[in-house]
Structure 1
């Protein structure tokens, strides 16, 4: 492999390719808060994620984590249990959020959207690139997920990509029932897929997610603008549900994830295989 110049990661063709379990979490209405509220959201976010991982017997020390203030994207190592993330981690995160929000006013609640996908994630010069990163980022920022969180009033809404849903929930590798999930079309920028939403402690089927409204993610530049309303939802093709396929970006577009990366024990530049 070529020697990196000035810290850049230089990969030969095919080197670094690998598929990983990806988890993206984003806080609701971060942009609406003042400076002190934003500090509290960031502190609370890391606290509940750490508590949830510990409760689910997952090692966050081995996760390659990329923070974004009001959110986090994590690339999980090989061997981390996908069913445990989909099932136990979500359950523990809901419990941690419930504890965190206890005695807080509704306006001070920490409310999170979470997406889980399995796909390509490759180390790049300024973070990660790959269609898996694109997919999980579009899912967590999708209008149906925002609408589910707003409509149900709970602290957490979760979306699974078709592949994760089919291979963990449908195949009964978790304690979750398929009926607890709602299939929704997601059309967010170049991403057009079906996904599966669950809201712990609520019936996601009982709420209007505004699925006749075109989904543009409800945000500008991929960040939360605070526009979460119960009437927001996604629309688009059902094509490729469960296929894990993500349409290719427009020619000349390079998909990368930027920001500080926490990579305990990780060695960048080596193959993920």
Structure 2
């Protein structure tokens, strides 16, 4: 049995789609499909290059020739600009999670290891948490280590650079890998907002004091205390 040809995979998913009102669903679905087609065309990927386009609810899973991997990453770059343009002029806002993987995929529809890996990347909780921290982002892209090494092993992209990406350790079920993320306008290593300190129980001031202090309000004191 022969190993299937290697393919480039692009996964697209809408962030927070469940929060959209029902009457927006068709609008969002159509807008995302149009943006993906426009981004592919701008990156030089024709319709004939798309081996398979699988709808995934409000998103899509695209299978393309592996030789187009660099153009797929450039298409992700163009998707960011298209989403930003949409969000400036139309409602509801559309923010996208994008994933790119590469590997052997058969000609017949089915579950192949690279498609499963792409799904793990796209839906990894650590990736979703990063997206939630990046307020105002339009797209967030996650790329497998294998795809990143393949595309930046030469000069295969026009707009996306290796330095745009930061490592992200991904674990989801049995899947574990170091992936790479690109979120325009957001530093993936910037921590989220700090949790506010917990209030004392019942609003009571609680201080534990060791040594001698003057004018201290405390619930528990060890040592001498002098009140003026």
The higher radius of gyration belongs to 2
Q: Per chain length, whose mean CA-contact separation is higher, i.e. which structure has more relative contact order (CA < 8 Å, sep 6+)?
A: 1
Deviation at 1:177, TM superposition (A): 4.0
Of residues 175, 178, 195, the one that matches 1:194 is 178
CA distance in 1, matches of 2:106, 2:164: 33
Give every structure 1 segment of 4 or more consecutive aligned residues whose post-TM-superposition deviation is greater than 4 Å: none
Distance 1:61 1:41, change over 3 A: farther
CA distance in 1, matches of 2:4, 2:77: 31
Whether 1:38 and 2:25 are equivalent positions in the alignment is: yes
Paired residue for 1:217? none
CA distance in 2, matches of 1:28, 1:60: 26
CA distance in 1, matches of 2:110, 2:7: 12
Paired residue for 1:77? 65
Deviation at 1:78, TM superposition (A): 5.1
| Stretches of structure 2 lacking an aligned partner (at least 5 in a row) | 194-228
1:251-266 aligned at under 5 Å gives the runs none
Deviation at 1:170, TM superposition (A): 6.1
Distance 1:148 1:142, change over 3 A: same
In angstroms, what is the RMSD of aligned CA positions? 2.2
How many aligned positions are there? 190
Of residues 94, 99, 103, the one that matches 2:85 is 99
Deviation at 1:20, TM superposition (A): 0.8
Distance 1:25 1:101, change over 3 A: same
Whether 1:149 and 2:136 are equivalent positions in the alignment is: no
For 1:128, what is the secondary structure of its paired residue?
Answer: coil
Structure with greater helix share of residues: 2
Distance 1:186 1:202, change over 3 A: same
Deviation at 1:44, TM superposition (A): 1.1
CA distance in 1, matches of 2:191, 2:162: 17
Distance 1:34 1:176, change over 3 A: closer
1:103-142 aligned at under 5 Å gives the runs 103-104=89-90, 108-124=92-108, 127-142=109-124
8 Å CA contact retained: 1:117, 1:160: yes
Whether 1:160 and 2:143 are equivalent positions in the alignment is: yes
| Stretches of structure 1 lacking an aligned partner (at least 5 in a row) | 1-13, 210-273
Distance 1:109 1:27, change over 3 A: same
